[in-house]
Amino acid sequence: QVQLVESGGGSVQTGGSLRLSCASSGHTYSNWYMGWFRQAPGKEREGVAAVYVGHTITYYRDSVKGRFTISQDNAKNTLYLQMNSLKPEDTAMYYCAANNFGGRWDDRTKYNFWGQGTQVTVSS
């Protein structure tokens, strides 16, 4: 089974940094999308960043470009999200997800595997 487990969330002040990790099963994810989504209270879950595995293609939400970096360690089957210059509007539950259906990178309905989420809180 494909299993995804996030970690690394926490509380930081504006301008701080966090690195989220997503440990995955040993499944081969080549040609899958793997990405990070987030959801704040009362809002829809939105795509933050994603990678098209095996094709050196990455995607980012406009509001995080230049601040967040998505990467992966294939040997450890781990996906990362380095978050710098954090802002209060980044506060949300962050989820790791995997997509083998295709479609838009940020279409949450195309992602069929999800982690449990890790909370990120940024205070001013």
Task: State pLDDT tens for residues 18-46.
Answer: 999 999 986 778 888 999 999 999 999 99
pLDDT at 55: 84
Residue 1 has pLDDT above 80, yes or no: no
Structure tokens at 77: 């089957």
Q: What one-character DSSP code corresponds to residue 11?
A: E
Which stretches of 43-108 are assigned E, i.e. beta strand? 46-52, 57-60, 68-73, 78-83, 92-99
Of 111, 86, 87, 85, the C-alpha closest to 97 is: 111
Ramachandran region, residue 109 (left: φ > 0; alpha: ψ -120 to 50; beta: rest): alpha
3-state secondary structure of 88: helix
